Structure 1
Amino acid sequence: MCGIAGLFDTRGRRDFPRELVERMNAVQFHRGPDEGGTHFEPGVALAHRRLSIIDLSTGQQPLFNEDGSVAVVFNGEIYNYQELVPELEALGHVFHTRSDTEVIVHAWEAWGEDCVRRFRGMFAFALHDRARQTLFMARDRLGVKPLFYAELDDGTVTFGSELKVLMQHPRLDRSIDPLAVEEYFALGYVAEPRCIFRGARKLGPGESLCIRRGEAAAPPRQYWDVRFTLDNPLSADEAMGELTARLRESVRLRMIAEVPLGAFLSGGVDSSAVVATMAGLSGEAVNTCSIAFDDPRFNESEFAAMVAQRYHTRHFVETVKSDDFDLIDTLAALYDEPYADSSAIPTYRVCQLARKHVTVALSGDGGDESFGGYRRYRMHLMEERMRAALPMAVRRPLFGMLGRLYPKADWAPRFLRAKTTFQAMARDATEAYFHSVSILRGEMRGRLFSAQFRKQLGGYDAVEVFRRHAAAGATDDPLALIQYLDLKTYLVGDINTKVDRASMAHSLEVREPLMDHELVEWLATLPSSLKIQGQEGKYLFKKAMEPMLPDDVLYRPKMGFSVPLARWFRGPLKARVREAVLGETLAATGMFNRDYLRHLVDAHQSGVRDYSAALWTVLMFEAFLRNVQGSGGITGAIRQAEVA
C-alpha cells in the first residue's frame, strides 16, 4: 500500500517547486514508510511513498515505460497482473520489474483509457504521458483506495491519496462547502464526489479522469457500475457451490504477497468466512487478529476464538478498554475531513494490533452490502410491503401527521418506537431509506443549523445524494435498490474511508476479498430471495458456509463494532462534550444554532434522550475544525463560507 501525490500544469510547462512536492509527499509518510520517490519534468511533478508488498527489490516508484515517456504513481494492488504480463509482452512490451505497477504503464500504452477495465484489484493511480501531454487518473470500481484532486486557479491540477496532501498547496481553496456540511451531518461523512473544501474533489469509485494540456477539462468518466439484474437461473444448491468457488478464488488472489500476511477475525460471518477460506488455501497456520472489549455488550471475542481454534490459526487478541476514547484528536488528523463513524476507534486498534505481526491483512468488509446482511435491510423490506399497500396520496398526509405527533421514545421497547416507522411510511423508498440511515434526520438538521447557514444551503438536502444514485441504479427491486445505494455511498464514504485511514496510519495493507468486483457483479445477478429469506439475512452466504463455520457464528444476532458513546457522554467525557459542543470553535463558524446544541447536550446528559450519535457527529466536526486550524487554514475557510 502506498501514497501518491503530484502536480500537473494544464496551461504550459512550468517547473514546480521541489520543496512543495516533497512536503506533499512527506505528510503521507505513514502510507509508505519503506521508500519515497519523486519525478520532475517541465509541467509535471510526481511523488510516491512506498509500503513494499510485491517485488521488494525493484518496484520503486514513480515507475516508467521503456523510453521514460510514461510515468505512474500507484496506490493499491492489481491482483491479476500475472495474467496481464504475457498478454502485454505478446504486444511487444518489455518488463523490467516483477511488480504489478509496471503493468499499468504498458496497459495504458496498449489500451489507453480502457486499461482500467482490464485491472482486477484495488487501486488509485495517476499516470503522465509526455507524448500525449496527458494526466490520467483512475480509482478502483468499489472505491477501496482514495484519490483527492483539485483544479487550482493558476491552471495547476494537484492530487493525492489524502486531503492533507492537497492542503500543502497554498492556492487550494479551503473555504468550507456548505453542501458538504449538510451531507456530513446527515450521513457522518462527505459523500463522493464532494469534499469538505470547495476547492477539492474526490474521484468517485469506478471513475477515471483524463486531463490534456491545453484542452478544457472533461468531467470524470464512469468506466464501471454494477447492475442488479437478479436473473441468474441457478438453483440455491448450484449458487452455493459457485459462491464457494468464487470466494476461494478471490481470497487466493489476495494472498499473493512477499511479506507477512494475516486476517482480521471479529467473530462475525464475513471475517470468519474469509479466515476459513484462507486456512483451506494455506500450507501453514493463518495469522488472525482480534480485538476484545472489557464490556460484554460489545465483546465478540469468544466467537472469534471458536473460528481460530477450529482452524488452528496463530491468533492474537488485545483487549480494548471500554473507556478508550483518547483517539478523538488522532482521528481528526487521520481523516482530514469530518468523519463520524465511532467504530473508527476499534478499527484503529485492530490495525495497530495487526501491524505488530503482519504487513497485509484480509478483512470481511463489503459482505453486508452484497449478501444482504444489515438489519436495516429487513426493516426496509417490511416497510416497502406496507408502502405498496397504500398509494402515496394517502400515505404522505396520514403517516406524515402520525410521524409528527407520535413522541420519540428511545427508552421504550422497540415495538413501541413507531415514530421512525411512521416517518418512513410517508416517504418514497429512496427518501425512506435515506431517512433510516441518517444520523441527524432532516428535522434535526433544520434545528441544528443557524438561519444564516440554512440560507447558504439554498434548500439543498443531502437526500439528493441518494436520489442521484437511485436514478442510476435502474432497479425496482426493493432490496437491490438499497444494496446499490449502500455500495455507492455507505461502503465508499464510511467503511472504505474508515479502513483505509486506520490501516494506513499503521502502514498496514488491508485487502477485501468480498469486494472483488467480479464477485460483486455475480452476486448482483442472484435473486433477492437468496439474500434475505424471512428474517434471515445473508441466507445464501450462511448456507454455503455451514460446512465451514459453527452455527453459533453463522446464526447469532449481529453485534457490530460498537463503542459505548451514550455512557461516555454522561460519564468520563461529560465535561469534554459540553466544552466542545458549546465552545468557541463551533460558535465562531456561525453555522450552528447554539440553543439547539445546548438542548442536545442537556437532554442527553440528563438521561431524557439518547443523542449520543448526534453529539459524536458534532464532536468530530469540532475536532476537524481544530485540526484544520492547526494546519493554518480554518479562519479563512470560515470567513469565506460566511460570505458565500
Structure 2
Amino acid sequence: MCGIVGLFDTCGKREIDRALLGRMNQIQVHRGPDEGELYTEAGVGFGHRRLSIMDVSSGQQPLFNEDGSVVVVFNGEIYNFQELAGELAALGHIFRTHCDTEVIVHAWEEWGEHCVNRFRGMFAFGLWDRNEQVLFLARDRLGIKPLYYSLLTDGTLIFGSELKTLLAHPDFIRDMDPHAIEDYFAYGYIPEPKTIFRQAFKLSPAHTLKLHSGQSMPAPRQYWDVPFILHDSITEQEAQEELIVRLRESVKIHLMTEVPLGAFLSGGVDSSAVVAMMADIAEEPVNTCSISFGDPAFNESLYAQKVADRYHTRHNVSQVDQDDFDLIDKLASLYDEPFADSSAMPTYRVCELARKRVTVALSGDGGDENLAGYRRYRWHVYEERMRSALPLGLRKPLFGLLGNLYPKADWAPKVLRAKSTFEALARDSVEGYFHSVSIMKDKMRQRLFSDSFKRNLQGYQAVEVLRMHADKCPAQDSLSRVQYLDMKTYLVGDILTKVDRASMAHALEVRVPLLDHKLVEWISGLPVSFKLHGQEGKYVFKKSLEPYLSNDILYRDKMGFSVPLASWFRGPLRQKLNNALMGPVLANTGIFNQAFLKEMLDQHQSGRRDYSASLWSLLMFESFLRNVLHAEQPRSYKNDLKVA
C-alpha cells in the first residue's frame, strides 16, 4: 500500500519542479513510511511513498519497463499478478522483480488501456508512456483505492492519492464548489467525481483517464460496471454452496503478503465470515482486533469475542471512551474535505490497534451493499410496493399532506415514526430513497442555507447525484437498483474513504475480500429473494454461514459501528459544539442561516429533537474550514461560492 503523486504538462514539455514534487510526495509519508522516490523528465514527474508489502527487497517505485520508456507509480494490490506475469513472460516480456507493480507496465505494453480489464485487485496508478506520449490514470472497479486530480490554469495536471497532495501545489485554487457543499449536507460525504474544491476531482471507480501530450483534456472512460445479470438457474442450496466456495477463494487470494496479517472483527456477520474463512485457510492463529464502547447500546465486542473464541484467534480489544474528542480535528486533516461519518473515530482507533501487530488487515466491508444487509433496503422495497399501487399524481398530495401533518417524533419507537415514511411515499423511487439516506432532508437544507448561498446553487439539488446513477443502472428490480446506487455513492464515498484514510494514517493496508469484483459480479446475479427474503437481509449469505457461525451472530439485529453522538452533544461535547456552530468560522462563510443553527442546538440539547447526525456534519465542516483551509489567514468564502 502506498501513496502516489504526479505532475504532467498537458501543453508541452516544461521542466518539472522536482522540489515541489518532493514536497507533494512527502506530505503523504504516512501512506508509505518505508521508502520515497521521485522520477522526472521533460513535462512529467512521478513521486511514490512505499509501504512494503510484496517483494520487500526489490519492489521500489517509480518502476520501469525493460527500456525505461514506460514508468508507473501504483497504490494497491494486483492479486492475480503471478498468473499475469506468467502470461506476459510467455509473450516475451522480461521481469526484473517479483512484485505486482511490474505487471502493470508490461500489461500496458501488451494490452494498452484495456490492461485494467485483466487486473484483479484494488488499485490506483499513474503511467507514462514516452513513446506514445501518453499519461494514463486508472482506478479499480469498486473504488477501494483513491485517486484525485486537477487541471491547473497553466495546463499542468496534478494527481495524487489524497487531496492534500493537490493542496500542496501553490497554483491550486482553493475555491469551494457550492454543489459539493449541498451534496455534503445531504449525504455526509462528497460523492464522486466531485470534491469540495471546484478545481479538483476524484477519478470515479472503474474509470481511466488517458491524456496525450499537447492535446485537450478528455473525459474519463468507464471500463466496468456491476452487471446484475441473473444466473440462468440456481437453487438456494446451490447458491449457498457456491457462495462459500467463492468467498473462501476471495479470502485466500487476499492473504497474499510478505508481512504480518490479521483481520478486523466487529462481531457482525461480514467480518465474522471473513475471519471464519481465514481461520479455515491459515496454518497459524489469525490476528484479530475489535473496538468496544462503554455504552452497551453501541458495544458489539462480546459478539466479536465469541467468534474469536470459536476460531482461537489472537484477539485484541481497545475501548473508545467518551473523552476521545481530540480526534475531531485530526479527522478533518486526514480526510482533507468535509466528512461526517462519526464511525471514522472508532475506525481510526481500530486501525491504530491493528497496526501494533500487523501491516495488513482484512475487513468485511461491502457485504451490506452486495447482499442487501441494510434495514433501509427492506423499507424501500415496502415503499416501492406502495408506490406501485398508487400513481404519483395521487400519492404526492395524499402522503405529502400526511407528512406535513404528522409530528416529528424522534423520541418515539420506530413504528410510530411515520412522518419520514409518508414523506418518502409522496416522492418517486429515486427521491424516496434519497429521502431515506439523507442526513439532512430537503426542508432542513432549505432552512440551513442562507438566501445568498441558495442563489449560488442555482436550483441544484443533491438528489441529482442519485438520478445520474439510476439512469445508468442495468437492473430493473427495486432492490438491485438501490444496491447499485449505494455501490456508486455510499460504499465508495463513505465506507471505503473512511477506511482508506483511517488505515493509511497508521500505514496499515486494509483489504476487502467481499469486494473482489468477480465475487461482486456473481452475487449481483443471484435472485433478489436470495438476498432479501421477507424481512431477512443477506439471507443466502447467512444460510451458507450456519455451519461456521452461531445464530446469535448471524440473526441478531444489525448494530453498526456507531458512536453515541446524541448524548455526547448533550454532555461532554456540548460546549465545543456551541462554540463551533455559533462561532465566527461558520458565520463568516455566509453559507448558513445562523438562526436555524441556534434552533437546532437548542432543540437537540433540550432533548426535544435528535439532530445529532446533522450537528456532527456541521461540527466536521467547521473543523475542515479551520484545519484544511488555513484558519491562520481568516477569510470569507462568500466570493468562492460561484458556480464554475
Aligned-residue Cα RMSD (Å) equals 1.2
Q: By how many angstroms is 1:638 displaced?
A: 4.8
Q: CA offsets per residue over residues 215-246 of structure 1, 9 Å max, x none?
A: 12110000000121234411000011110010
Residue aligning to 1:150: 150
Q: CA offsets per residue over residues 573-599 of structure 1, 9 Å max, x none?
A: 111101101110001110000001111
Residue identity opposite 2:88 in structure 1: L
Instruction: Supply the distance in 2 between the matched residues of 1:634 and 1:30 (Cα, whole angstroms).
Output: 28
Q: CA offsets per residue over residues 332-354 of structure 1, 9 Å max, x none?
A: 00000100000000000000000
Q: By how many angstroms is 1:130 displaced?
A: 0.8
Residue aligning to 1:277: 277
Instruction: Supply the distance in 2 between the matched residues of 1:617 and 1:350 (Cα, whole angstroms).
Output: 22
3-state DSSP class of the match of 2:518?
helix
Residue aligning to 2:76: 76
Q: CA offsets per residue over residues 188-216 of structure 1, 9 Å max, x none?
A: 00110011000000000000000111112
8 A contact 1:232–1:527 mirrored in 2: no
Q: By how many angstroms is 1:34 displaced?
A: 0.4
8 A contact 2:591–2:638 mirrored in 1: no
3-state DSSP class of the match of 1:404?
helix
8 A contact 2:177–2:643 mirrored in 1: no
8 A contact 2:588–2:636 mirrored in 1: no
3-state DSSP class of the match of 2:73?
strand
Q: By how many angstroms is 1:631 displaced?
A: 7.6
Q: By how many angstroms is 1:411 displaced?
A: 1.0
Instruction: Supply the distance in 1 between the matched residues of 2:295 and 2:570 (Cα, whole angstroms).
Output: 17
Residue identity opposite 1:505 in structure 2: A
8 A contact 1:264–1:288 mirrored in 2: yes
Q: By how many angstroms is 1:17 displaced?
A: 1.2
Q: By how many angstroms is 1:607 displaced?
A: 1.0
Residue identity opposite 1:519 in structure 2: L
8 A contact 1:5–1:46 mirrored in 2: yes
Instruction: Supply the distance in 2 between the matched residues of 1:31 and 1:637 (Cα, whole angstroms).
Output: 31
8 A contact 1:174–1:637 mirrored in 2: no
Instruction: Supply the distance in 1 between the matched residues of 2:337 and 2:66 (Cα, whole angstroms).
Output: 39
8 A contact 1:230–1:528 mirrored in 2: no
Residue segments in structure 1 that go unaligned for 5+ positions in a row: none
Residue identity opposite 2:502 in structure 1: A
Instruction: Supply the distance in 2 between the matched residues of 1:569 and 1:87 (Cα, whole angstroms).
Output: 58
Instruction: Supply the distance in 2 between the matched residues of 1:479 and 1:60 (Cα, whole angstroms).
Output: 45
8 A contact 1:503–1:510 mirrored in 2: yes
Residue identity opposite 2:154 in structure 1: D
Instruction: Supply the distance in 2 between the matched residues of 1:332 and 1:387 (Cα, whole angstroms).
Output: 40
Number of residue-to-residue matches in the alignment = 644
Residue identity opposite 1:614 in structure 2: S
Residue aligning to 2:260: 260
Q: CA offsets per residue over residues 83-116 of structure 1, 9 Å max, x none?
A: 1001101111100000000000000000000000
Residue aligning to 2:326: 326
Residue aligning to 1:311: 311
Residue aligning to 1:535: 535
3-state DSSP class of the match of 2:399?
helix
Instruction: Supply the distance in 2 between the matched residues of 1:86 and 1:643 (Cα, whole angstroms).
Output: 51
Instruction: Supply the distance in 2 between the matched residues of 1:386 and 1:197 (Cα, whole angstroms).
Output: 40
Instruction: Supply the distance in 1 between the matched residues of 2:633 and 2:89 (Cα, whole angstroms).
Output: 49
Residue aligning to 1:169: 169
Residue identity opposite 1:245 in structure 2: V
Residue aligning to 1:549: 549
Residue identity opposite 1:547 in structure 2: P
Residue segments in structure 2 that go unaligned for 5+ positions in a row: none
Residue aligning to 2:412: 412
Residue aligning to 1:488: 488
Residue identity opposite 2:105 in structure 1: V
8 A contact 1:531–1:539 mirrored in 2: yes
Instruction: Supply the distance in 2 between the matched residues of 1:510 and 1:455 (Cα, whole angstroms).
Output: 42
Instruction: Supply the distance in 2 between the matched residues of 1:312 and 1:187 (Cα, whole angstroms).
Output: 39
**Measured at CA, do residues 633 and 114 of structure 1 come closer, stay the same or move farther in structure 2, by a change above 3 Å?**
farther
**Measured at CA, do residues 383 and 231 of structure 1 come closer, stay the same or move farther in structure 2, by a change above 3 Å?**
same
Residue aligning to 1:287: 287
Instruction: Supply the distance in 2 between the matched residues of 1:248 and 1:465 (Cα, whole angstroms).
Output: 35
Instruction: Supply the distance in 2 between the matched residues of 1:637 and 1:216 (Cα, whole angstroms).
Output: 31
Q: By how many angstroms is 1:474 displaced?
A: 3.0
Residue identity opposite 1:398 in structure 2: L
Residue aligning to 1:192: 192
TM-score (norm 1): 0.99
Instruction: Supply the distance in 1 between the matched residues of 2:354 and 2:421 (Cα, whole angstroms).
Output: 41
**Deviating more after overlay: 319-328 vs 211-220:** 319-328
Q: By how many angstroms is 1:406 displaced?
A: 1.3
2:180 equivalent to 1:180: yes
Q: CA offsets per residue over residues 5-54 of structure 1, 9 Å max, x none?
A: 01000111111111111110111000000000100110001000000000
Residue aligning to 1:118: 118
Residue aligning to 1:46: 46
Counterparts in 2 of 1:242-641, with a 5 A limit? 242-630=242-630, 635=635, 638-641=638-641
3-state DSSP class of the match of 2:629?
helix
Identity within the alignment, %: 64
**Deviating more after overlay: 455-464 vs 319-328:** 319-328
Residue identity opposite 2:388 in structure 1: A
Residue identity opposite 1:114 in structure 2: H
Q: By how many angstroms is 1:365 displaced?
A: 0.1
Residue identity opposite 1:299 in structure 2: N
8 A contact 2:189–2:340 mirrored in 1: yes
Instruction: Supply the distance in 2 between the matched residues of 1:577 and 1:305 (Cα, whole angstroms).
Output: 35
Q: By how many angstroms is 1:606 displaced?
A: 1.0
Q: By how many angstroms is 1:325 displaced?
A: 2.3
Instruction: Supply the distance in 1 between the matched residues of 2:637 and 2:133 (Cα, whole angstroms).
Output: 34
**Measured at CA, do residues 310 and 447 of structure 1 come closer, stay the same or move farther in structure 2, by a change above 3 Å?**
same
Instruction: Supply the distance in 2 between the matched residues of 1:104 and 1:450 (Cα, whole angstroms).
Output: 49
Q: CA offsets per residue over residues 416-453 of structure 1, 9 Å max, x none?
A: 11110000101111110111000001000000000000
Residue identity opposite 2:355 in structure 1: R
8 A contact 1:56–1:258 mirrored in 2: yes
Instruction: Supply the distance in 1 between the matched residues of 2:465 and 2:356 (Cα, whole angstroms).
Output: 39
Moved over 3 A (4+): 631-639
Residue aligning to 1:87: 87
Instruction: Supply the distance in 2 between the matched residues of 1:443 and 1:558 (Cα, whole angstroms).
Output: 29
Instruction: Supply the distance in 1 between the matched residues of 2:345 and 2:394 (Cα, whole angstroms).
Output: 44
Q: By how many angstroms is 1:633 displaced?
A: 7.7
Instruction: Supply the distance in 1 between the matched residues of 2:400 and 2:474 (Cα, whole angstroms).
Output: 28
Instruction: Supply the distance in 1 between the matched residues of 2:632 and 2:242 (Cα, whole angstroms).
Output: 54
3-state DSSP class of the match of 2:290?
strand
Q: By how many angstroms is 1:383 displaced?
A: 1.0
Q: By how many angstroms is 1:499 displaced?
A: 0.1
**Measured at CA, do residues 493 and 27 of structure 1 come closer, stay the same or move farther in structure 2, by a change above 3 Å?**
same
Instruction: Supply the distance in 2 between the matched residues of 1:184 and 1:230 (Cα, whole angstroms).
Output: 34
Residue identity opposite 1:18 in structure 2: R
3-state DSSP class of the match of 1:135?
strand
